[in-house]
Amino acid sequence: MEIRVDQNKLIIQLREQIHLLSYQQILYIERFGKKTLVHTHDKEVSIHMSLKRIEKVLPAYFIRTHQSYLINKHRISELIAINKDLYECVFENEKSALVKKKVIEKLIS
């Protein structure tokens, strides 16, 4: 597996497939067990790379909102309080991710 950045795209080369994802397509990136899932409106691409490593190659509008999530702040539809410290970030297609309260200002500015 190889990940590259070209212009405004994340290029994910797997054994049998190459995914070309524009940054605007990416809703969020989630760490789930030993896999990292790149979520778009209509698909998920599974990669074996840490969030920390992928965060380094993405533009600044991808915000680390939780230990398991990197969110594209341009694709957020709504933030809903779950409790005093945690929010649910909802995207246009009803997919969602978690956001710690201390990060909210970075998402809405």
The per-residue pLDDT for 7 is: 82
Six token digits for residue 67? 């230990």
| Helix (H) / strand (E) containing 55 | helix 51-55
Span 50-85, pLDDT tens digits? 999 999 989 999 999 999 999 999 999 999 999 999
Beta strands in the chain (DSSP E): 2-6, 9-13, 18-22, 26-32, 35-40, 44-47, 62-66, 69-72, 76-81, 86-91, 96-100
What the chain holds in terms of domains, given with CATH numbers, is 2-108 (2.40.50.1020)
The pair of structure tokens assigned to 10 is 């994340």
